[in-house]
A and B are shown apart, each in its own frame.
Chain A
């Protein structure tokens, strides 16, 4: 059912410069992490269980890349979008992938949207747009998050911002709600009132956090992470994954699924769980390949 839904929408936003072929295509998957600088995103961000689980849906499970870039920078920075572009081209040019599915988490979707929205900015971007079938955006921070606002509240009082530089001063500043509104209006496509992205972006939206120690589900993705997110959820709308409000996650592209529609048992996916193989997420993503 979702497959049919996706094809129907995709047909209305076909790019002119190239249309991904559906026959004899070499399909590959790229995993794009969220805020922060990653050097081993496979082990420390996604986990092999999720990556291998999704890759199992490929005809050739070797056609996978787990991106490691510096997403503590603004999305357009060469260490962010430039690094992402180079690593995606390793799969496209290096491995001959011409049917690329990009799985992003959190701010990774914004970096990918930068590439998709700005094809004349960098000569690496057009080939990526041409090869990309769609983006599976897990918990994207498309409209920013009040938690980025909260993180920046103290900056006017601070005499030391060393802690923030360590996490990603620019990436956090970028994901403030006022800032993302501006970047969406001026540099990015896919939000309300803006031109569509040249390829579809399908959002998966986490709606709640469960951190009951007696509930086994709370332990998937790390119990302590979920406890923390259950607390931060109180800063956010009633519908959130502990970091991203549902309205933000659904703010660009099209919703693919709310977590309860997707997961085994209708479980909620917290912001930590939507990058792990929790409640059948890997199988669901693999099934779409």
Chain B
């Protein structure tokens, strides 16, 4: 039932949407979300349109996020910090942050950087004055007011120490049972890349995540998937060429209310000079329970003032407020396709079949100086009350 490549929907005509392509997001089946109450949203139908300048560069569809990490982090117990934890670095001047964990009140639990000792690969010990180029007390980081946890302290390794296999220990008795140790090496050439094959998923979809590394050997990695409610599960990773790959199915029927799922990777790395280094990375993706979807055939009408009105039939599985959006493209005097306008429309819809209409104003089309056949692109359907993107399609239809 896909629209023919050469076909176009003319005024008064109706046609199915183009078939969704690789990279589009489209529900295979609808599902009623598990929820305790109907989402809160305005009942007022609203529509909006705006012109888009001809030279605007619009991406056809979002691309999955590509996390590039030159840092790592791990938790260490107070006893481990007293004995010494491995702190490999691959570039001079690494920044080390120490954050108390597991305490309700932790402002006084910061590890004093001046009590830290850094042991280099030759076993030589370096005190704070010698080994640290920059010290940040818990009070100073609190005063920065950037949201770091109370009690967080930090230091930068003195460039003169170079980089390599360090061990960090404290000579003071830590006040917290555990600490987060975070090492950031922004000048390092060693970057871990974590990326998914999709940036968004619907119920029942499988997400694959690749873990890649340039210029070093990826010895191994562990992964975890965290849902918007804070539940975590292990992501099993398997060798896939030079990369590691993990896959998981997203089948949560609760709507995440806009919060994202995250995937976190902790990797062990061997550099060319034999150093066993570490990298951690995190990426995120959106998720939706497909509570509604496009159905049937879109219709196009000439508006009362000559614009284009595109009506999109919907099947609604769950009561709620739904919104559609799309961009209109037309052809300039040279026949080149260019963006003309963006239209959005939303209303409160009951379960069953209904429709929303995108209105592209005649004045905007005339001002743009474009002619048909037009195209409807970047078509989106959103469950506004549940903050969920249900459908995203780069090319939706040709319109005469």
Contact = CB atoms under 8 A, between A and B. Distances in A.
Contacts of B284: 176, 178-179, 181-182
A158 B150 CA distance: 13
B144 A242 contact: yes
Nearest to B148: A151
Interface in A211-262: 222, 224-225, 227-229, 231-232, 234-237, 242-243
B148 A231 contact: no
A3 to B, nearest CB: 20
A278 to B, nearest CB: 16
A158 B384 contact: no
Contacts of A237: 186
B180 interface: yes
Contacts of B259: 74, 170, 173
A160 to B, nearest CB: 5
Interface stretch (B2-10, B51-59, B237-245): B51-59
Contact of B143 (A119, A126, A187, A228): A228
Q: How large is the interface on A (under 10, 10 to 19, 20 to 34, 35 or more residues)?
A: 35 or more
A43 B284 CA distance: 37
A226 to B, nearest CB: 9
Interface stretch (A20-28, A49-57, A86-94, A191-199): A191-199
Interface in A163-217: 163-164, 167-168, 170, 172-173, 176-179, 181-182, 185-187, 192-196, 198
A149 to B, nearest CB: 7
Contact of A123 (B42, B63, B73, B387): B42
A133 to B, nearest CB: 15
Contacts of A235: 95, 184, 186
B128 to A, nearest CB: 15
Contacts of B285: 182
Given A150-B148, A154-B149, A158-B102, 5 more contacts: A123-B44, A153-B180, A154-B75, A173-B259, A182-B62
A181 B150 CA distance: 28
A186 B62 contact: yes
B379 to A, nearest CB: 13
Contact of A186 (B44, B145, B389): B389
B270 interface: no
Q: How large is the interface on B (under 10, 10 to 19, 20 to 34, 35 or more residues)?
A: 35 or more
B99 A16 contact: no
Contacts of B156: 234
A17 interface: yes
B227 interface: no
Interface stretch (A7-15, A60-68, A97-105): A7-15
B134 A231 contact: yes
A16 B49 contact: yes
Nearest to A229: B144
A167 B145 CA distance: 9
Nearest to A151: B147
A76 interface: yes
Contacts of A13: 50-53
B67 A195 contact: no
A38 B32 CA distance: 37
A196 B54 CA distance: 11
B182 A147 contact: no
B75 A150 contact: no
Contact of B58 (A126, A168, A195): A195
A107 B182 CA distance: 25
Q: Which of A120, A153, A159, A242 has the most CB of B within 10 A?
A: A120
Contact of B52 (A153, A196, A228, A234): A196
Contacts of B63: 185
Interface string B135-155: 010001111111111100010
Contacts of B346: 120-121
6 contacts: A156-B226, A158-B101, A178-B282, A195-B52, A225-B145, A234-B184
A157 B144 contact: no
Given A74-B259, A179-B260, A235-B95, A163 B48 contact: no
Given A156-B264, A179-B284, A182-B284, A232 B149 contact: no
Contact of B48 (A17, A76, A194): A17
B302 interface: no
Nearest to A147: B146
B370 to A, nearest CB: 15
Nearest to A153: B73
Given A178-B284, A182-B286, A224 B143 contact: yes
A195 B144 contact: no
A272 interface: yes
Contact of B200 (A121, A178, A186): A186
A16 B50 contact: yes
B291 interface: no
Contacts of A178: 65, 67, 260, 262, 282-284
A120 B49 CA distance: 10
Contacts of A14: 50-51
Given A74-B258, A151-B149, A159 B101 contact: yes
Contacts of B59: 192-194
A58 interface: no
A186 B58 contact: no
A149 B361 CA distance: 42
Contacts of B226: 156
A35 interface: yes
B323 A120 contact: yes
